[in-house]
């Protein structure tokens, strides 16, 4: 048995959970944030038998695509009289970071 932990962009999370449930895979969605852009993410947790892992990863690939987004960086803390002109940056968002972990024991209570 494996525990699959997928960290995905918040915009992709709803479609991913729907697709997992449609494929009869149980999933838990946790709201999270962090990283470089400090934007909302979702952490999707799925417990699966070893033979189901590849199918679940295909569902993640199909529903979590990367794309570019223009963001304005946060200005640094400045001294009075300093001038900072932030330039928009084009960054890649979306996709998924997936961890597949072995499960030693599983119980449904």
CA 18 to each of CA 27, 36, 47: distance values in angstroms, whole numbers, following the listed order: 9, 27, 16
Residue 9 forms part of a structural domain: yes
**Do the domain assignments include residue 107?**
no
Would 79 be classed as within a structural domain? no
Tell me if 108 is assigned to some domain: no
12-20 contacts at long range (C-beta below 8 A, 24 or more positions apart): 12/42, 12/63, 12/64, 12/65, 12/94, 12/96, 13/41, 13/42, 13/44, 15/63, 16/44, 16/59, 16/60, 16/63, 16/64, 17/44, 19/59, 19/62, 19/63, 20/44, 20/46, 20/56, 20/59
- pTM for the structure as a whole: 0.76
Predicted confidence pLDDT, tens digits, the chain (109 residues)? 999 999 998 889 999 999 999 999 999 999 987 765 567 789 999 999 999 999 999 999 999 988 777 766 666 565 665 665 567 777 766 789 999 999 999 888 8
User: Total domain count for the chain?
Assistant: 1
Task: Look at the block and give the residue holding tokens 């998924």.
Answer: 96
Q: What is the CATH number of the domain that holds 66?
A: 3.30.70.120
Which residues constitute the domain of residue 70?
A: 2-74+86-102
Q: Does residue 65 sit within a domain? A: yes
Whether 21 is in a domain gets the answer: yes
């Amino acid at each position: 048995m494996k525990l699959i932990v997928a960290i995905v962009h918040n915009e992709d999370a709803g479609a991913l959970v729907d697709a997992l449930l449609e494929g009869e895979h149980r999933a838990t969605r946790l709201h999270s944030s962090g990283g470089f852009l400090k934007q909302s993410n979702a952490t999707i947790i799925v417990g699966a038998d070893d033979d189901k892992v590849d199918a679940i990863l295909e569902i993640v690939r199909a529903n979590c695509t990367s794309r570019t987004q223009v963001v304005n960086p946060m200005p640094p803390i400045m001294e009075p009289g300093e001038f900072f002109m932030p330039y928009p940056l084009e960054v890649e968002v979306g996709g998924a970071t997936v961890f597949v972990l072995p499960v030693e024991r599983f119980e449904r209570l």
